[in-house]
Structure 1
Amino acid sequence: MIVDDEDSIRFGMRDFLESRGYDVIDADSCRRARELFQASSPDVAVIDFRLHDGSAIDLLRDFRQIDPDVPMIVLTAYGSIDLAVQAIKQGAEQFLTKPIEMPALHAIVKRLLTNRRLHRQQQVVSKREQRERVDPLLGDSPAIRMLAEQAGKVMGSDSPILILGETGTGKSMLAKWLHHHSARADEPFVDLNCAGLSPEFLETELFGHEKGAFTGASASKQGMLDIADGGTVFLDEIGDVDPRVQPKLLKVLEEKRFRRMGAVREREVDIRLIAATHHDLASKVKEGVFRSDLYFRISSIPLTMPALRDRKQDILSLASTLLARMVTDPARQVQLTDDAQQALRDYAWPGNIRELRNVLERAALLCNDDTITRRDLRFELPAAQDVPANTMNLTLQQLERQHIQRVLRDVGGKVEQAALRLGIPRSTLYQKIKMHGISAASHDPG
């Protein structure tokens, strides 16, 4: 949006920006600008400081009340510091003097639009995280009370923490809780799931690389360690870290130094490591696929997230909290009937909290009158009494193969949706598909 009462300047800016692919609206007065701003919600506003019926200061105040997130650029033929200070105090992002250099204006508009888009994306992510985030220590079961006591004792420590537990139990939520309750809470929290990553990709993600470090490295790239300096790095599924990368990770923990790929100079870093795994790392050490020195370095403070089946008395409080966060419409209050509550308690929850969230989300969408009944709950595995007798003689691998095929069939062969239903990372599902020799488009197991 352009606001200027000099036609030649206004039309010139409009034509230039339209030639660069922007949709532009323009106004020649404060009155018209207010009408357009209210009606169109522009992404950027370019405003002349002095207009015949007011000033940019007036519009900045008015626009901020309508939409405080719209970035403003103020133009003036009078390049005084006082005017610039006034404009910036009222929320202007930029203050430019006339005559305007069009390429400079274009660069500023482009940057402001990029920042606005990133801000919107961050808001979406933040809202989704708030909706999905559940206190990892919510509940009153003995298992969760013990975990809460242990977590409270170590949350202020800078030593590495290893979170153990099945897939879907909430290990990443506990990692974030530990970060937010530590002295590093105001510093970055950076996470990476190591499952299925090649050593080269994992190394460049963790340590970064210099320009020309490998084919395709056309520019230098910061790694997670650079980004998280002063904060926390969370490595999920650390048991899948390639043995070639493990000694470099150990050096970071012991010496607080690392080297980017292709670099000569070492860089210092100050991070706290929180790692998680569903593997038995001690067994991996015995097998020779996980370094013993790295294992002992990260496992001095172990915390175990209990499986949902081991904290059955927490299920209803978890379900209530999840439903409250899922349903964003304040007019809706989704309730669980008695039979639905009993079904939640009776189910084994192989996918743990992740599966509970998926089951409730689907039920909340499909239920009538904001009331979830037993019929609205679609579990991924049948109840024990419903298991066909002819499956009792199958091996565990055969059962797993059949179940993966069944879930893939139900979701039309979409691996990502199947992984969500199964409560495992997509990379793990791909590995199992390959191991069992089945295809993503699998139908009835034959």
Structure 2
Amino acid sequence: MKILIVEDEKITRITLANLLDKEGYEVQSVADGSKGHELVCENSYDVVITDLRLPGKGGLDILNAAKENNPECEVIVITAYASVETAVSALKKGAYDYITKPLSPEKFISLMNNIHQYHEVRDENQQLKKRLEQIESKTIIGNSPPMRKLLETVENVASHDYTVLIQGESGTGKEVVARALHRHSTRKDKPFIAINCAAIPETLVESELFGHEKGAFSGAIQQHEGYFERADGGTIFIDDIDDFPLHLQVKLLRVLQERQFVRVGGSETVNVDVRVICATKIDLEEQVRKNEFREDLYYRLHIIPVHIPPLRDRKEDIPNLVNHFFGKHDAGHMLSDLDPAFYEALMQYNWPGNVRQLENTVERVIATSDPDIVTDLINERSAPNGETGSDDDAEGDDYPPFEQYMHNKEKEIINWALREADNNISRAAKLLDLPRGTLRSKLKKLDENGA
């Protein structure tokens, strides 16, 4: 911390300065009130320690100037002439503390440590608030034709309360679109609650979404408010709706139709005013055909379908996304060191993990301060079995139909990841930049097809 001492009594001034210097603080001291007043007007200090009675400007004048120049500055007023009136006056003007001479070194160091800890907590809270604001204000980045169409759809749909189904591969930014819909709606000042079906154990889905009553089951020691109640007045975003348990889909359908439900173990009907946005990474219509998703629920969700294109279909957005991610991670200063070859390498890759994978790659570049790792990284990810993965290899007439080809490639990549992870699904999912639930769904699908 940067500290200024304004004290005309030489012994006290030197004693305080030495004491704080030994504690590792950056200390400056002056004997004149006018000089102290000048310094607090021209500089920003974390703490100002000032005597009340000084030649020139007085302690309260310094207090006012310090607070005016830097409201977060803490001012400690010290005096040998204590009175209730001056103490009250100093504290009303924003003094952190008002103490009398003679000063106790132990008490003074304890006081400074308290201020130091308070500043650390305050700075940490500011950082957390900044990160929260970044999450809440995530914007849709892209100027390609598919993204311009998406932005137009979001703009047209946001102000209405229609149920929206966002479709897109893993990593395309479905939650970003959901937050944009909420942010531009009339519900923007109300809660936005995001949940991921794949991340909630199936046995807990009903309780987590709709809540439960005390004694509804073992361990239900009090009434629990579910996500729908918490989102009342705002928006609830249900990601990976394709993983929603089949036996609970009728309850979700009722909420969508009637905006009411009953908590687990309860009998009272709970009414909610909430907008529902869902997202899926797979073809729900195909799930309906397989009787793995209710047809009536599908059509209820499919009122406003929004499709997010994969990154490989909008590569012209990659430079803007990259610049955004460098800024997001406080590394904008590195952009001037990037040459066109860096962006060209990124543009040549097909990004199976989409925008999420691109951001992870940018984070790795930031962490290593080495843009050249991108080429090796992309080659490594492009060829799980040591193949080059060049687009030129796709030429020829001996390839199977598209769906079968994509199925084979997906199986090949998943098997590679499982081998690398010693069949640990969590580690394999991390290698593939996929949510664990998504990988489990894919493995289940492969198993059902005898793959």
TM-score (norm 2): 0.65
Q: Which amino acid in structure 2 is aligned with residue 149 of structure 1?
A: E
The equivalent residue for 1:351 is 353
For residues 156 and 343 of structure 2, the distance between their equivalents in structure 1, rounded to whole angstroms, comes to 34
The equivalent residue for 1:361 is 363
Which residues of 2 match residues 242-253 of structure 1 at below 5 A?
A: 242-253=245-256
Q: Secondary structure at the match of 2:344?
A: helix
Distance 1:413 1:176, change over 3 A: same
For residues 422 and 348 of structure 2, the distance between their equivalents in structure 1, rounded to whole angstroms, comes to 28
The equivalent residue for 2:303 is 300
The equivalent residue for 2:317 is 314
Aligned residue among 416, 420, 428 for 2:438 = 428
Conservation of the 8 A alpha-carbon contact between 1:132 and 1:322: no
1:181 Cα deviation (Å)?
A: 0.7
The equivalent residue for 2:390 is 384
Q: Which amino acid in structure 2 is aligned with residue 384 of structure 1?
A: S
For residues 357 and 366 of structure 1, the distance between their equivalents in structure 2, rounded to whole angstroms, comes to 14
For residues 119 and 216 of structure 1, the distance between their equivalents in structure 2, rounded to whole angstroms, comes to 39
1:352 Cα deviation (Å)?
A: 0.8
Conservation of the 8 A alpha-carbon contact between 1:196 and 1:428: no
Q: Deviations over 1:337-358 (max 9, x none)?
A: 2222112111111111111111
Aligned residue among 151, 156, 159 for 2:159 = 156
Q: Deviations over 1:234-254 (max 9, x none)?
A: 000112211221111111121
1:272 Cα deviation (Å)?
A: 0.4
Q: Which amino acid in structure 2 is aligned with residue 124 of structure 1?
A: L
Distance 1:365 1:209, change over 3 A: same
Are 1:124 and 2:165 counterparts? no
The answer for unaligned runs of 5 or more in structure 1 is: 1-30, 41-51, 69-77, 93-112, 438-446
Conservation of the 8 A alpha-carbon contact between 2:260 and 2:270: yes
Q: Which amino acid in structure 2 is aligned with residue 338 of structure 1?
A: P
1:140 Cα deviation (Å)?
A: 2.0
Which residues of 2 match residues 80-99 of structure 1 at below 5 A?
A: none
> Taking every aligned residue pair, what percent have the same amino acid on both sides?
35
Q: Which amino acid in structure 1 is aligned with residue 359 of structure 2?
A: R
Q: Secondary structure at the match of 1:65?
A: coil
414-423 vs 344-353, which moves further: 414-423
Are 1:406 and 2:406 counterparts? no
Are 1:135 and 2:136 counterparts? no
For residues 377 and 413 of structure 2, the distance between their equivalents in structure 1, rounded to whole angstroms, comes to 21
Distance 1:281 1:397, change over 3 A: closer
For residues 195 and 164 of structure 1, the distance between their equivalents in structure 2, rounded to whole angstroms, comes to 16
Are 1:185 and 2:188 counterparts? yes
222-231 vs 247-256, which moves further: 247-256
Q: Which amino acid in structure 1 is aligned with residue 248 of structure 2?
A: V
Q: Deviations over 1:339-378 (max 9, x none)?
A: 221121111111111111112211222244x777634656
Conservation of the 8 A alpha-carbon contact between 2:74 and 2:95: no
Conservation of the 8 A alpha-carbon contact between 1:352 and 1:423: no
Which residues of 2 match residues 245-324 of structure 1 at below 5 A?
A: 245-324=248-327
The equivalent residue for 2:104 is none
For residues 298 and 91 of structure 1, the distance between their equivalents in structure 2, rounded to whole angstroms, comes to 58
For residues 126 and 284 of structure 2, the distance between their equivalents in structure 1, rounded to whole angstroms, comes to 35
Q: Secondary structure at the match of 1:348?
A: coil
Conservation of the 8 A alpha-carbon contact between 1:355 and 1:421: no
Q: Which amino acid in structure 1 is aligned with residue 375 of structure 2?
A: R
Q: Which has the larger radius of gyration?
A: 2
1:228 Cα deviation (Å)?
A: 0.7
1:287 Cα deviation (Å)?
A: 2.2
Distance 1:163 1:432, change over 3 A: closer
1:268 Cα deviation (Å)?
A: 1.1
Q: Deviations over 1:77-96 (max 9, x none)?
A: x9xxxx9xx9899799xxxx
Q: Deviations over 1:155-214 (max 9, x none)?
A: 101111111111111111000011011111110000111126444311111111111111
The equivalent residue for 1:72 is none
1:401 Cα deviation (Å)?
A: 4.5
Distance 1:301 1:397, change over 3 A: closer
Distance 1:364 1:167, change over 3 A: same
The equivalent residue for 2:207 is 204
260-269 vs 418-427, which moves further: 418-427
Distance 1:131 1:414, change over 3 A: farther
Conservation of the 8 A alpha-carbon contact between 1:359 and 1:378: no
Distance 1:250 1:418, change over 3 A: same
For residues 89 and 209 of structure 1, the distance between their equivalents in structure 2, rounded to whole angstroms, comes to 50
Aligned residue among 220, 225, 229 for 2:232 = 229
Distance 1:319 1:411, change over 3 A: farther
Conservation of the 8 A alpha-carbon contact between 1:336 and 1:373: no
Conservation of the 8 A alpha-carbon contact between 2:136 and 2:179: no
Measured on the aligned residues, the alpha-carbon RMSD in Å equals 4.4
For residues 216 and 315 of structure 1, the distance between their equivalents in structure 2, rounded to whole angstroms, comes to 49
413-422 vs 248-257, which moves further: 413-422
The answer for unaligned runs of 5 or more in structure 2 is: 1-15, 26-51, 54-58, 76-83, 97-116, 384-388
Conservation of the 8 A alpha-carbon contact between 1:237 and 1:276: yes
